[in-house]
Structure 1
Amino acid sequence: MTHAPATRRRFIRILAASGAALAAGPLAAAQPPEPVTWQGIALGADAQMQLLHPDRAHAEKLIALAVAEVQRLEKIFSLYQDDSALVQLNRSGRLDRPAADMARLISEALQFSRATDGCFDVSVQPLWQLYARQLQAGKPLPPAPRDLQRALASVGWQHVLVDEQAIALARPGMALTLNGIAQGYITDRVTELLRANGLEHALIDLGETRAIGRPEHRDAWLAGIADPANRAQLLGKVALRDQALATSGGYGTPLTADGSTTHLFDPRSGLARPRWASVTVRAANATTADALSTAFSLMDEHAITHVAREYQAQAWLLAHGQGQQLIRIG
């Protein structure tokens, strides 16, 4: 599909983005550096960057470098740019001499698939295509079992082959979506770029959030987990100290009026009814937080605990119909 994506709704509120959000502003000391900020869209998600640097002109140059890096990576990973590397791969089933970022991200995605017993799977795009056709035809969701099984025949991370020479999709009809990991990957690459250019304190939110250093006169950046039923209300606050945070929730992109069917597809059954109302993950980097929050949406507490321990990550889970009580793991 080539239509433009709808902007993803924000699940995480960055509390340090304004002094009014906290009892005392994060930049409340005498003459601290003014934050240099940017807001825009990255891979269909609301995006923002907040840089703290004593040289404002230098910070503005870093913003320009970061935006250029986002645009470069979007040309590789986007499902909605006809000439992107991902669209070319999906169109032909093979991509020779892939860009290093493409090969690296696909390889990392397959590692997350192994670690989560396939709950994270970038090959679920045929399911999205099936559901989109149902919606466009005015047919009910979920699709009929026969149609789900036909789509599932083209799903399976084990059939994605990658090395430095080529990426190949080994099953007929296969197609990939990187929407469950690319935002985190881009966030990490931008973070690396900023650090390489001397930036020590920043908050990067390109669909997923990563902190560098800390805000002025505070120990950590703060992010709030939004209540799916009322996103103006917070269910909890999470401190970020050179860490990343990502949230997945089916409520962000409901496909049915009652919200029971969402954009989070189960690669095992083909259904799109996540186990949890929302999942937030804090990890060492945004790629990990992004992929795990997607996978954990389909996993039970025991499995989440095992994988979170492996990645030294923490998770906050909200069960369906359980009010506002978050379950913390790790």
Structure 2
Amino acid sequence: MLKRRRFLTLSACCAAPTWAHALPSLQPVVWRGVALGALASMQLVHPDRAWARAVLARCLDEIERLEGIFSLYRPDSALSRLNASGELRAPPHELVELLSTSLALARASGGAFDPSIQPLMQLYFRHFATPGAAPDGPTPAQLARARAAVGHADIEVASGRIRLLRPGAALTLNGVAQGFITDRVAGLLRAAGLTHLLLDLGEGRAHGRRADGQPWRASVADPANPARGLFELRLGSEPGLLPALATSAGSGTTFDAQARLHHLLDPASGRSAHFHASVSVAADSATLADGLSTALSVLPAERGAALLAQHAGARAWLVDRHGSVTQIGAS
């Protein structure tokens, strides 16, 4: 059984604007819809609403273009074509950039984050799509065969060609692509002159302030009871704040009816990791927050703290199955 749940809520509720240059009647321009296969929203605070809506339309075009590179569900995407043939010549520069970033995180995390984990994901999807599938998941022999195709060290990345050197290898960038696309959209908006914005494209990113002059806020829910918020924090680009936040939780996407087996797979064992109920990371970029939240989810707290220490300013919140929260990283 496959299900998806959200554990991050970004707040844009506002009263009358109070910052000096705002118009008395200023209200955010809001878009809500589906992006990257999930519910999403973008909110812009600007006095010229028609212009802001035109910029939002450009953002939607950019999301569509990037999905055409990273999607695993589109057979004609660049990533799907790479997985089908094991080689992609003249790859899009965004694929080269994000895969290079992913491989750097794979090395830094000792393989806890690994973009080549797709053969294991495919194994679980196939297993639980089979009528009468064993509730404990794939057999040890099946896991061993899938793990033999996993190995981030056997991926060649260059501007002119990407190659997968292991037989049966396939990549997924689902652990970092939402953050990357969030950053790209934020960059497009800021280049257009937007200074007050909030993006929720699976991962969150905020700049400036709400229309009432208050900081943007995010609430992280209890994985065991999503109606209950565990903690809140302010997001933004001002001193003392971080702009991006990502949350990973095994219970967000599960394979079995009992929700014991989930998508946060440990590449070393091929099985779901159960160190934390959820992990939230705040960082300077949504790409980094997204990738780190995935990596920390399959690491014990001590190793996770060592990985986080390599990224100055990043903070993480580890939630256990009882809803207790432990913060690591910068205070």
TM-score range for the pair, normalised by the shorter chain length: over 0.9
User: What residue is the counterpart of 1:212 in the other structure?
Assistant: 207
Rounded to whole Å, the distance in 2 between the matches of 1:282 and 1:7 is 25
Separation (CA, whole Å) in 1 of partners of 2:182 and 2:317 = 21
2:133 corresponds to 1:139: yes
Equivalent residue in structure 2 for 1:179, among 161, 174, 184: 174
Conserved 8 A contact 2:16-2:25: no
Q: Deviations over 1:186-215 (max 9, x none)?
A: 000001100110000000111100011121
In the TM superposition, what is the alpha-carbon distance from 1:7 to its structure 2 partner?
Answer: 7.8
Whole-angstrom CA distance in 1 between matches of 2:218 and 2:291: 19
**Contact 2:280–2:317 under 8 Å retained in 1:** yes
* Equivalent position of 2:54 in the other structure: 61
Separation (CA, whole Å) in 2 of partners of 1:115 and 1:130? 26
Partner of 1:15: 11
Which AA in structure 2 matches 1:231? P
> Conserved in 2, the CA contact under 8 Å of 1:248 and 1:279?
yes
Does the 8 A contact of 2:128 with 2:256 survive in 1? no
Hey, what does 2:104 align to over in structure 1? 111
Cα displacement (A) at 1:275: 1.5
Alpha-carbon distance, 1:8 to partner? 3.9
From 86, 101, 114, give the equivalent of 2:79: 86
Matches within 5 A, 1:154-169: 154-169=149-164
Contact 2:109 2:307 in 1 (8 A): yes
Q: Which moved more, 1:179-188 or 1:304-313?
A: 304-313
**Which AA in structure 2 matches 1:44?**
G
Evaluate the alpha carbon distance shift between residue 7 and residue 189 of structure 1 in structure 2; reply closer, same or farther with a 3 A threshold. farther
Counterpart Cα distance in 2 of 1:57 and 1:213:
20
Deviation at 1:219, TM superposition (A): 4.7
Tell me: CA distance 1:33–1:295, structure 2 relative to 1, closer, same or farther (3 Å): same
The corresponding residue for 2:116 is 123
Cα deviation, 1:82-137, whole Å, max 9, x if unaligned, reads 11001100000000000110110100100111111111011111011111111122
Q: Which amino acid aligns with 2:263?
A: H
Distance, in Å, in 2 between the alignment partners of 1:213 and 1:250 is 32
Conserved? CA contact 1:227–1:235, under 8 Å: yes
Q: Provide the rounded CA distance (Å) in 1 between the counterparts of 2:46 and 2:4.
A: 30
Q: CA deviation at 1:177?
A: 0.8
Structure 2 SS opposite 1:124: helix
* Change beyond 3 A, Cα 1:94–1:14: same
Unaligned runs of 5+ in 1: 1-5, 20-24
1:26 Cα deviation from its structure 2 partner: 7.8
Which range is displaced more, 309-318 or 175-184?
309-318
Residue 76 of structure 1 aligns to a residue whose secondary structure is helix
Within 5 Å, give how 1:218-297 maps onto structure 2.
218-242=213-237, 243-297=243-297
1:150 maps to 145
Contact 1:35/1:51 (<8 A) preserved: yes
SS at match of 1:168: strand
Shift of 1:309: 2.0
- Secondary structure at 1:276's aligned position in 2? coil
Q: 1:134 to 1:237 in 2, by over 3 A?
A: same
TM-score (normalizing by structure 2): 0.92
Partner Cα separation in structure 1 for residue 115 and residue 94 of structure 2: 16
Other-structure match for 1:327:
326
Deviations 1:40-95 (A, max 9, x none): 22221221101001111111011001000000000000001111001100000000
2:44·2:196 contact (CA, 8 Å) conserved in 1?
yes
1:148 deviation in Å? 0.4
1:74 aligns to what SS in structure 2? helix
8 Å contact from structure 2 (residues 16, 26) kept in 1: no
Q: Residue 254 of structure 1 contacts residue 260 of structure 1 at CA under 8 Å; is this kept in 2?
A: yes
Aligned mates of 1:59, 1:90 — CA distance in 2: 38
Task: State the SS of the aligned residue for 2:102.
Answer: helix
Gaps of 5+ in 2: 238-242
